[in-house]
Structure 1
Amino acid sequence: MAVRDYGQYGALTQAVELVGERWALLIIRDLLVGPRRYGELAAGLPRIPTNVLATRLKELQAAGIIHRMPRSRVIVYELTPYGRELEPVVLALGAWGFKKLGDQRDEQIITPDSMTMDLRTAFRAQVAADLPATAYSARLGAAELLIRVAGPELEVSRGDGPADLTFAAGPGFRRVISGELAPDRAIGSGVVEVLGGRHDLLDRFARTFHLAA
């Protein structure tokens, strides 16, 4: 099935042959958030050529990583149990990549699915377990997310809703997640704009979601 054959026998070689083609891991990342229609995948990856998306989906299906399922009279793509085993791999790669993330460039976008997976990557369940349940409504770039934390459980969904803290942030929010910028300074400098709720809860957010740069 693999498009690229490295001519080597080994487990890592096999893995790279299955998911190492361009765009494959980003498709898997978005499907880890939930099943997606073809058009939703294309919208979440606006630079992917349609022929490449179609090819990658066929390759991932052939490998048993995703499958097509009818749902409410439409076809959606979703991960198989074998494909879902990639979640810790994707989260670990995200944490590793964060160390070299740098500042967002003008041509780069933030999508709801990419931010959802970044939040899953940064989530510290052991810290959250000792904190009160909290709901955050966050506008991070173009992504509007409702983030609910209840003990060690995290739920992220699109849109807004009742929240203990509502805030908006731009590219500089990376510095809050990394601990480079304290929450009070982030608010004071305009990196984070509190739109509603308790300002002090941004400190709780920063303790709950953290990645070392």
Structure 2
Amino acid sequence: MAITGLPPADDADVARVTEALQMITPRWNVRILLALNQPPQRYTEIAAKLPYLQSGQLHPKIRSLCEAGLAERTEHSARHVTYGLTTRGRQLLPVLPVMAAWAEEHLEKPEQPLSTIEQVEDSLTLLARRQAAAILWVLKSRQEVTARALARIVIPDGYWTNIYPPLRQLIDDGMVMTAGNGQPYRLSRAGDALGPVLGALSMWSAGRPLDHAARHPLWGRPAPEPASPALAWTSHQPGTPALAVPTQPARRPGWQPGELFSHAIPARVEAVLLPGGVRR
């Protein structure tokens, strides 16, 4: 059943990406996935890596990740149960540094540097807002759209003024812009730069290799881009994997939780930003 007025292929793409975001955006889910990115572990071993979770919080979240197909529970005996990532869950991990790279370049700079995992969580919070994916898809494909035309596509069965709350939220978040009341809407620089993020999420949710993201029909690059230096992260240890660049082979995901939560601060790359950057 179509959820938007987009062409069927685009509608299905938006639905898959929206579902993927709903799986991983809830608080602590990404951190739990990263803690599970090791050989199968007992519950107590996982809990020890996530001490900030209160008693009773971890188990239902692991169960929800198992139900989503990202984690798996293996019962060796009545007293020996282990948890680990499924192949599907491991395939998701390379999407996370793409999100963090976007946040590092396009979100406003906080007074205190953020860890890589916090950059990922900030990105997810913005992307998972109601109807955000559908609005971003339409604006990317149409370039400029009036609110009424946008509503006909995004909420075809709803009253058209209902488009304004999510649209204003995306403007506040810095991903959409307009010249003023009654003027068409379009993606901002930060919104347009979401191509690698949304392309990677689209490929993962469709069960396709992530390296096909550059060929996404909407969010892919129209032509190969010249090689550029690897992004200097705001706060990672040297062991934290950065994004691969065209001149280097891609790294296999193998993050350690300690690396992701590190606040060590290397030299910062000054990015060209809109005034203030996108709001976190």
| TM-score of the pair, normalised by structure 1 | 0.46
Relative CO higher for 1 or 2, CA cutoff 8 Å, sep ≥ 6? 2
Question: Greater strand percent: which structure?
Answer: 1
Could you say which structure has the larger radius of gyration?
Answer: 2
Report the TM-score, using the length of structure 2 for normalisation: 0.37
